[in-house]
Amino acid sequence: MASKSYFVVNIMEYLCDARMDEDLSGLLRFFECPRNKDVENFLKKSAVDFAKKHQAVSYLVFSQENGAFLGYFSLAIKTISVRAQNVSRTVQRKLSRMSTLDDGEYNIPAYLIAQLGKNFQQGLNDLITGNELLSLAMEQISFLQHRVGGVLCVLECENKKKLLDFYCEQNHFVEFGTRKTKFTEKDLLQLLKTI
């Protein structure tokens, strides 16, 4: 769907060649996300280390037309706990394929969309929508699912109406819990989608 106008590059492709590693450093400096500094800081300060340690891999999104760096998303595998009472019976049936109910919770591996952000540098954010960026992340997850399996995609976001409308109303994620961040002590909503 979205991939006809964009191409996606796994950050690991930059890291296997010293010259490309330098290109990556220069490219990342030009990413701006004033609406969410955590998204910007992760890409600039942590994405390379996370990729090298195989904790999370970031994917850079470029315009097919002019090669402009439009945004990125980061994916990881995470084991999550989902209380059965917090999800529908349909979701419970899908979760039971890969996990057993233990003390009212499913503990299950999931694809985590760890980061998702558009580049606001010089209006580049107008060249891709949030839905298109999320669609590219879901395409990558579908690619992985086809090769290794899995039934669940998760993400976390702040409790803001605009974000909930985007993820839940437009993209069919459902809330299953909350988590407090270690350093900033922000409450984040945990959202899931069966795939």
Compute the average pLDDT of residues 129-145.
97
Lowest pLDDT segment from 106-110, 130-134, 177-181: 177-181
Q: How many domains does the chain have?
A: 1
pLDDT at 4 (0 to 100): 72
Domain assignment of residue 155, given as a range = 2-194
pLDDT tens for each residue of 91-109: 999 999 889 889 999 999 9
Task: Give the CATH number of the domain where residue 173 resides.
Answer: 3.40.630.30
- Which three-class secondary structure string do you get for the chain? CHHHCEEEEECHHHHCCHHHHHHHHHHHHCCCCCCCHHHHHHHHHHHHHHHHCCCCEEEEEEECCCCCEEEEEEEEEEEEEEEHHHCCHHHHHHHHCCCCEECCEEEEEEEEEEEEEECCHHHHHHHCCHHHHHHHHHHHHHHHHHHHCCCEEEEEEECCHHHHHHHHHHCCCEEEEEEECCCCCCEEEEEEEEC
